């Protein structure tokens, strides 16, 4: 079995002006494409060959750096494309909205906390909203780590992730990561994030 680059549900220019078409094209085909190819090379012929990606990541400390970096890169980008949409933005929907208010005080406090996690992650990494099993948490990870990994500071089910590697924004925003993070709120797909929340809380 090998992992496949998932089909995008929108075209490269669909998230403009917030995420430009050239960044989408390169990010998806070259970066996500390379994580996918390199993950497959790292697991071919090993005992990981038949496992779902979530199971590989759950015990990632037992595997090679190539599996950690490319397995994380593969999963994280699958999630990233999924939680964005051209008709995004606004307020979270459904049960997720109530849970955000309960955990963070208000949507604005949550938004501030998530934006800050994204802006202050030093170097390359990701900001996360995660369901830990009994609460929502916001934090960030370095490189391609994520909350499914046993090496993660906070573990749980990732509901949404924001890529803050320079390759995610540099062509359009150069060094202005904060502006990229602010604009992300215009393309977030709350319907999908709420669906992930319902899956996570029913596990
Ligand atoms: Mn990326």
- 64 CA from centroid of ligand 1 (Å): 20
- 95 CA from centroid of ligand 1 (Å): 29
Mean pLDDT in residue range 114-138: 98
Q: How far is the C-alpha of 160 from the C-alpha of 63, rounded, in Å?
A: 25
- 45 CA from centroid of ligand 1 (Å): 27
Q: Could you tell me the pLDDT band of residue 126, with boundaries at 50, 70 and 90?
A: very high
Give the pLDDT of residue 170.
Answer: 98
| Dihedral over Cα of 143, 147, 152, 153: its sign | positive
Q: What percent of the chain has pLDDT over 90?
A: 97
Give the pLDDT of residue 127.
Answer: 98
Residue 192 has pLDDT above 70, yes or no: yes
Name the token pair of 16.
Answer: 């403009």
- 34 CA from centroid of ligand 1 (Å): 11
Number of CB atoms found within 10 A of residue 130's CB: 24
Q: What value does the mean pLDDT of the chain take?
A: 97
Residue 1 has pLDDT above 90, yes or no: no
Give the pLDDT of residue 114.
Answer: 98
- 31 CA from centroid of ligand 1 (Å): 6
- 32 CA from centroid of ligand 1 (Å): 7
Give the pLDDT of residue 153.
Answer: 96
Q: How far is the C-alpha of 116 from the C-alpha of 180, rounded, in Å?
A: 12
- 42 CA from centroid of ligand 1 (Å): 19
- 17 CA from centroid of ligand 1 (Å): 18
Task: Say which residue the tokens 């090379």 belong to.
Answer: 41
Mean pLDDT in residue range 180-185: 98
User: DSSP assignment, residue 64?
Assistant: -
| Dihedral over Cα of 45, 155, 92, 185: its sign | negative
- 72 CA from centroid of ligand 1 (Å): 10
- 12 CA from centroid of ligand 1 (Å): 15
- 43 CA from centroid of ligand 1 (Å): 21
Mean pLDDT in residue range 142-159: 98
Mean pLDDT in residue range 65-85: 98
Q: What percent of the chain has pLDDT over 70?
A: 99
Query: pLDDT, tens digit, for every residue of 9-33?
Result: 999 999 999 999 999 999 999 999 9
Q: How far is the C-alpha of 203 from the C-alpha of 199, rounded, in Å?
A: 6
Secondary structure of residue 138 in the 3-state scheme? strand
Q: How far is the C-alpha of 186 from the C-alpha of 189, rounded, in Å?
A: 9
């Amino acid at each position: 079995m090998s992992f496949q680059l998932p089909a995008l549900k929108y075209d490269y220019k669909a998230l403009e002006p917030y995420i430009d078409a050239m960044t989408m094209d390169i990010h998806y085909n070259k970066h996500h494409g390379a994580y996918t190819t390199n993950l497959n090379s790292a697991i071919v012929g090993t005992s990981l060959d038949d496992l779902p990606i979530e199971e590989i990541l759950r015990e990632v400390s037992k595997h090679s750096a190539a599996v950690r970096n490319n397995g994380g890169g593969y999963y994280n980008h699958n999630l990233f494309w999924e939680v964005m949409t051209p008709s995004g933005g606004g307020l979270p929907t459904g049960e997720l909205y109530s849970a955000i208010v309960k955990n963070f005080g208000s949507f604005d406090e949550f938004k501030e906390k998530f934006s800050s996690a994204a802006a202050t992650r030093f170097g390359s990494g990701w900001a996360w909203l995660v369901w830990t099993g009994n609460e929502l948490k916001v934090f960030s990870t370095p490189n391609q780590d994520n909350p499914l990994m046993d090496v993660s500071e906070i573990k749980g089910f990732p509901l949404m992730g924001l890529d803050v590697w320079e390759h995610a924004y540099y062509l359009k925003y150069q060094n202005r990561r904060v502006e990229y993070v602010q604009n992300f709120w215009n393309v977030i797909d709350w319907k999908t994030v709420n669906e992930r929340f319902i899956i996570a809380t029913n596990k």
